[in-house]
A = this chain, B = another copy of it.
Amino acid sequence: TQSFHLVVLGGDGIGPEVCDQSVRLLKTIQPHLDGVEFNLDPHSVGVGEYQRSGEALPQSTFDACLASDAVLLGAMGLPNVRYPNGKEIAPQLDLRERLQLYGGVRPIRLFHEDDTPLKGHGAGDVDFVLVRESTEGLFYGRDAVADLEADEATNLLRITRTASERVCRLAFETARRRDGKKKVSLIDKANVLSSMVYFRHVFDEVAKDFPDIEAEHIYVDAAALFLVRRPQDFDVLVTENMFGDILSDLAAGLVGGMGMAPSGDIGDKAAVFQPSHGSAPDIAGQSIANPIAMHLSTAMMLEWLDHPETRRAANALNTAIADVLSDPTQRTADMGGKLSTVAITDQIADRLNYH
């Protein structure tokens, strides 16, 4: 029996309640898998932990993440609790940097035409993956503190060869593995920024190792427009950290919003799977939060564990979710529906089918 050490971080706001539901699904799934065991290991993290211990990401939690096979995370941060410098408490950024989770993998998939604000798109018409570089770019300068009395404030956008190479490689590998258009679009601003000329250069070098995958360049402004006008043309996108932050929220908006958008932050030594949404404290504790993004993130984790049995489980979970979402009456409140966090999870659990 192979035991997977899965660190579970509920976090803040709706984080724990959506995370609990994914844990429940994992426990439902486990008995159906052959020779695979999930060792679920909860740890504390986030604003609650900051208020208790003064540290949003305690060393013991960090160590557990580093030693784990994968981390499942709910949501972190609360808008009204900030560090003394005014910035939000967002330990997911620390996790990304300290665990070198360089690839922010954000799949965007439309399950039902009712879920998109776009005309003329139905299930499967929007189906791409955005890979966001997550350790540098404009986020490199995030530790700087502004002097509000000064005449100016600056932040540095930094692109390194090492980080660019590994994130571009991840994008091409994703395109190769996916059953898609076999295409990677680099989203840059090489017409204006030298760091982006550099990023493009590295991308082009990596592309040579993937002759079976089409490589194209799109300026970030044009990409924002193409995403709303012809999202069906994309397969895999790779981009800088800040651009990826913006475009992945835009993309989530095309398929139902943040409650439908999973993510995996992938590194060579660790990986963290979490919904793209925030902690939504205004609706916490009411069991009305949409757990779909969390469950899709859990499926990503199962796939990423890369064992035949966990891949089988990922398929079962993805299929059950798609099955529920094919019926637009099966939705939580954010999507105009009536199901609770628990009830929609029950629907998914009922449809789990292990082939």
* Interface residues of A, Cβ cutoff 8 Å to B: 85-88, 90, 93, 116-120, 138-139, 141-142, 144-148, 150-162, 189-195, 197-199, 201, 220-222, 224-229, 242-243, 245-250, 252-254, 257-258
Known: A229-B117, A243-B246. A192 touches B139 (CB 8 A): yes
B247 contacts A224, C-beta separation under 8 Å? yes
Of B117, B145, B150, B248, the residue contacting A228 (CB under 8 A) is B117
Q: A222, A247, A250 — which one has the most chain B CB atoms within 10 A of its CB?
A: A250
Total copies of the chain = 2
- The chain B residue with its CB closest to the CB of A220 is B246
Of B148, B192, B195, B221, the residue contacting A198 (CB under 8 A) is B148
Residues of B close to A198: CB separation below 8 A: 146-148, 150, 152-153
A225 contacts B243, C-beta separation under 8 Å? no
Apart from A150-B161, A228-B228, 12 more pairs, CB < 8 Å:
A87-B194, A148-B198, A151-B161, A154-B156, A154-B159, A155-B195, A156-B157, A221-B246, A221-B249, A224-B224, A224-B249, A225-B253
What is the bound-complex CA distance between A152 and B135, given in angstroms?
Answer: 14
Q: List 9 A-B contacts (CB under 8 A).
A: A93-B192, A117-B119, A117-B229, A138-B138, A145-B194, A153-B159, A154-B159, A221-B245, A246-B246
A253 CB to nearest chain B CB (Å)? 4
What is the bound-complex CA distance between A85 and B190, given in angstroms?
Answer: 11
Of B116, B158, B194, B253, the residue contacting A224 (CB under 8 A) is B253
Nearest 4 interchain pairs by C-beta:
A153-B198, A146-B194, A224-B250, A225-B253
B194 contacts A141, C-beta separation under 8 Å? yes
What is the bound-complex CA distance between A304 and B93, given in angstroms?
Answer: 44
Residues of B close to A243: CB separation below 8 A: 246
What is the bound-complex CA distance between A142 and B190, given in angstroms?
Answer: 10
- The chain B residue with its CB closest to the CB of A147 is B198
Residues of B close to A87: CB separation below 8 A: 190-192, 194, 197
Residues of B close to A151: CB separation below 8 A: 160-162
A223 CB to nearest chain B CB (Å)? 8
A157 CB to nearest chain B CB (Å)? 5
Residues of B close to A194: CB separation below 8 A: 85, 87, 141-142, 144-146, 153, 155
